[in-house]
Amino acid sequence: MTSLEQRPDQMATTDAAAYALSAKRFEKMRPLAGSKTPVVLDGLPPGPGWPAIIQSIGLLRFRHRFVPWAHRRYGDAFTVRILPQGRPLVLFTLPEHAREIFAGDPEVFHAGKGNAILGPMMGEHSLLLQDSSEHKRARKLLMPAFNGHALREYAALVTDVATAEVDSWLPGESFSALERMNRLTLEVILRVVFGVSDESRLAQMRPRVNKVVDISPAILFGYGMPRLQKLGPWKRNKENSFELDALIYAEIRERRAAPDLASRTDVLSRLIRVGTEGDDSDRLTDEELRDQLVTLLLAGHETTATALAWALYELGRSPSLLARSREAAATGDDAWLEAVLKESMRRHPVIPMVVRTLMKPATVGGYDLPAGTTVGPSIIIAHSRADNHAQPDVFRPERFIDGQPATNTWIPFGGGVRRCIGAGFSLMEGVVVLREVLSNYAVEAMGEDQPKVRNITSVPREGAVVRVTR
């Protein structure tokens, strides 16, 4: 069998090749909304009659006020018209609605189409953007890198990164938990997922990754407008993406030729080895590897960091919860630490919704919806309904200890065949980090905080400032 190192069709061998692949990604992903044919709104659930641009701004920029308002005003299912062309997004808020969507025929309920706005960042091969047989193949190839055995090996690496971060803290200092957790989870991604250990390359990748993550909703809108790619922040964002791609492709190229590839335990090395053992010859190309790595970066870096920042903030507001959590860290009670992390994800949703675009007419929640409609459970509402979670405004990790919430009432990782492949990694990482922090420090929240929108995620507006003491 020909080795991967000898297959030029699977390799981006130069910076010029990396640049060409990056440019192709932006060109391919311009039609973010799919078909240009407008969807007839007759028969859809009610919703505001404002211009699509106003509704889009409300959904992307002010979602934590806009979505609850729409739920109160229009009921358990409502329609929002979004750019481009005022296409309908129908948000559902009941567990039975989520069940229908998650269990829907994947040939009809396309998640990739619903996530198309992320295309220029993640690439057409991203697990989040693929559908049907392509998604099934990609998920099959990625799964071995996230099974239980792999997670146990990653845990030791995550512990090393977390220990190094916590050891750099000074007793009595106050800082943004979000900033420190972002720094920590980025290091986990680069070292555990990308497998980068060379400090010079890490120094090159860190600022470029941060620029990819820290973008505004305006940049996301600009992805569908080619003229904007030549202007100001859109141009700089595109150039930064190209520079990051060149570094990623260089890392992939060198890793394929690494003499210790067979013994390496990072995610990238595992993905490169897929299909090289046994009779299965299906393998991931360099372009596919790049897209999946960036997907893992964007989906697993800031989301986990934000959940951890909110967790530390909430523990810092409750001496009793902090005491119990520090005891759990000391005694190895990982179930309680995981409950703290899960409650953080429930109380402070990082992602607002889980979406699917209908490729054929379908019925959801009793509504007959036309092809082209995007549908999705609202995570914001599902996590804040009193009939889903008693006393929803109270931070109570016990709800994940005394009895798990009912199915489809806690959905930070989505559900069905599209449930986030990195869910286990995220929870493992969060538990390890909480254990390291709380084994060394008590935390105190400094002031109040509330969510704000940054790109497609929501983060603490003030950064979840805490003070740590021995």
Q: Answer yes or no: is pLDDT of 145 > 80.
A: yes
What's the rounded Cα separation, in Å, for the pair 80 and 45? 9
What's the rounded Cα separation, in Å, for the pair 172 and 165? 16
Angle at 354 between CA 359 and CA 26, to 5 degrees: 70
Average pLDDT, the chain: 89
Cβ contacts of residue 84 below 8 Å, gap of 6+? 32, 33, 224
Identify whether the C-beta of residue 443 lies closer than 8 Å to the C-beta of residue 434: no
Residue with the bigger pLDDT between 104 and 24: it is 104
What's the rounded Cα separation, in Å, for the pair 31 and 225? 9
Q: What is the pTM of this model?
A: 0.90
| % of the chain with per-residue pLDDT over 90 | 73
- pLDDT tens digits, one per residue of 313-328: 999 999 999 999 999 9
Query: What pLDDT score does 117 carry?
Result: 74
Closest CA to 48 of 70, 68, 32, 24: 70
Q: Answer yes or no: is pLDDT of 5 > 70.
A: no
Alpha helices in 131-227 (DSSP H): 132-142, 148-167, 177-188, 199-213, 217-222
- pLDDT tens digits, one per residue of 68-115: 999 999 999 999 999 878 899 999 999 999 999 999 999 999 998 878
- pLDDT tens digits, one per residue of 223-261: 666 777 778 888 888 889 899 999 999 999 999 999 999
Q: Answer yes or no: is pLDDT of 9 > 70.
A: no
Query: What pLDDT score does 280 carry?
Result: 57
State the pLDDT confidence band at 35, using cuts at 50, 70 and 90. very low
Identify whether the C-beta of residue 313 lies closer than 8 Å to the C-beta of residue 445: yes
Identify whether the C-beta of residue 460 lies closer than 8 Å to the C-beta of residue 306: yes
- pLDDT tens digits, one per residue of 59-69: 988 999 999 99
Query: What pLDDT score does 14 carry?
Result: 59
